[in-house]
Amino acid sequence: MLTKADVQRLRSLREKKHREALGLFVIEGEKVVAELRAANFPFDEIYTTDVAPTHAPPSSAASSAPRLINITAEEMARISHFPTPSSVLAVGRIRREPLPPGALDRGLTLALDRVQDAGNVGTLLRIADWFGFERVLLSPDSADLFHQKVINASMGSFARVRVHTTDLAAALSATRTPVLGCDLIGDDVHALPPLRDAIVVIGSEGRGLSPDVKARVTRCVTIRRFGAAESLNAAVAAAIVCDNLRRLAGRT
């Protein structure tokens, strides 16, 4: 049975300030919890209304297995973050991985500059995972990595992609790797030379690249427009640029 303190703690994790204060986050939904468990994400607790959970953890050391807690549907409704409660809610610890010195000098990096839509951030993690990018950089003023919408939209990529929340301008200043800034005005992305090491920067949905970050861009690139649409969604644009980089790198 859940105590009043349990309910208050779990409900408080809807807000970033409480997630940061407690060092915890929640993710709700049988599918997404199963995806993260399959990717060996180390949850602390899993609350379920199933008598025999279908998302049982994979074989591993007993010490790393989460605590499975059966609760009633009424209790789940009290802690759920959704209007229609799911049958599963999991609690994990917030772990932020610092960006190692020199990491940007090797491989492909996707950097998100003030991308504030949580769904877009999650989709961008999924894109980085699909194209095998070594890492994702997230500016501090982008959507919170541990927002439930980010994790849901990533479709399990949250547990597989290395994500570093960092000052983008400072990080870009410390590397000689080509920095490609996606912009409405720039060189056609399909005219790029092959690049095995590069940083692709995606800007805010409404404001584009921030001035400090744009000052560190070595080359602005654009996706040629043939119709009348004003712009592309940030995740769509990133997917096109990432696909082009991988296609070109495959020729070298």
Nearest in space to 198 (alpha carbons), one of 172, 221, 219, 180 = 180
Handedness of CA 180, 205, 149, 15 (dihedral sign): positive
Q: Are 94 and 19 in contact (CB under 8 A)?
A: yes
Give the separation between CA 47 and CA 232, rounded to whole angstroms.
39
Handedness of CA 78, 83, 85, 89 (dihedral sign): negative
Give the separation between CA 207 and CA 115, rounded to whole angstroms.
9
- The low-confidence residues of the chain, meaning pLDDT below 70, are 51-64, 250-252
Q: How many residues does the chain have?
A: 252
pLDDT value at residue 63? 46
Token output for 119:
């769904």
Predicted TM-score (pTM) of this structure: 0.90
pLDDT value at residue 206? 83
Domain 103-249, classified CATH 3.40.50.300, yes or no: no
pLDDT value at residue 249? 73
pLDDT value at residue 61? 43
Token output for 59:
């074989």
Handedness of CA 97, 102, 108, 112 (dihedral sign): positive
Topology match between the domains 4-93 and 103-249: no
pLDDT value at residue 54? 46
Give the separation between CA 172 and CA 167, rounded to whole angstroms.
9
pLDDT value at residue 52? 55
pLDDT value at residue 126? 97
pLDDT value at residue 250? 66
Give the separation between CA 145 and CA 94, rounded to whole angstroms.
9
* Superfamily of domain 4-93, CATH level 4: Ribosomal protein L30/S12 (3.30.1330.30)
- The domain locations on the chain are 4-93, 103-249
